Amino acid sequence: MSTDAERQLLRHALATVAYRGVKPLRDAPPTFATFELRSYPRTPIKILAHISDVLDWALSIARGKQVWHDSVPKDWSAEVTRFFSAIKSLDDYLASSEPLHESPAKLLQGPIADALNHIGQLALLRRTFGAPIRSENYHQAVITPGRIGPDQDAPRSEFD
């Protein structure tokens, strides 16, 4: 059984995924989606599709009917929309009174941490591509549970 505080912490973690996810997605150059790095297994669009698959998987775990899908990426815009839709679906479930069928700790250490890891890959690929995002002191960021869409507060403390 999860507590309200644990669910709120998971919702804060999802809001963090959204906040950090916006940075490498926002204003990405048109050819970034299909950028191929030698010896690297996934293009940015494949990574983004995988993140949404991971978030969909997290929702299925939370509902108690674990299901995994390897989706085929669509275009960049569709995948960005899907990313925020997947976060919203999971956040809506966590905000509801529906039971969690997995411990909040397992949801955090597995799929939510995995999503953050892959967002870091997108940020690194943006830099390698030649369109870096600015670094940020995330401790100062305004991150609010439930604020999981593409419209995030402006960074408070960015640096190069």
- Alpha carbon distance 13, 7 (integer Å): 10
* Residue 156 forms part of a structural domain: no
Give me the CATH number covering residue 88: 1.20.120.450
> Residues 70-125: pLDDT tens digits?
999 999 999 999 999 999 999 999 999 999 999 999 999 999 999 999 999 999 99
Asked whether the predicted pLDDT for residue 148 surpasses 60, the reply is yes
Beta-carbon contacts of 123 under 8 Å, excluding residues fewer than 6 positions away, are 23, 24, 133
* Residue 21 forms part of a structural domain: yes
Distances (CA, A) of 117 to 4, 54, 96: 26, 11, 27
Domain count, the chain: 1
User: What percent of the chain lies above the pLDDT cut of 70?
Assistant: 99
* Residue 154 forms part of a structural domain: no
pTM, full prediction: 0.95
* Residue 96 forms part of a structural domain: yes
Beta-carbon contacts of 157 under 8 Å, excluding residues fewer than 6 positions away, are 136, 137, 140
| pLDDT score recorded for residue 2 | 72
* Residue 159 forms part of a structural domain: no
Instruction: Please state the rounded mean pLDDT for residues 132-148.
Output: 95
Tell me which residue range forms the domain holding 93. 4-148
* Residue 155 forms part of a structural domain: no
Closest CA to 86 of 62, 53, 47, 45: 53
* Residue 112 forms part of a structural domain: yes
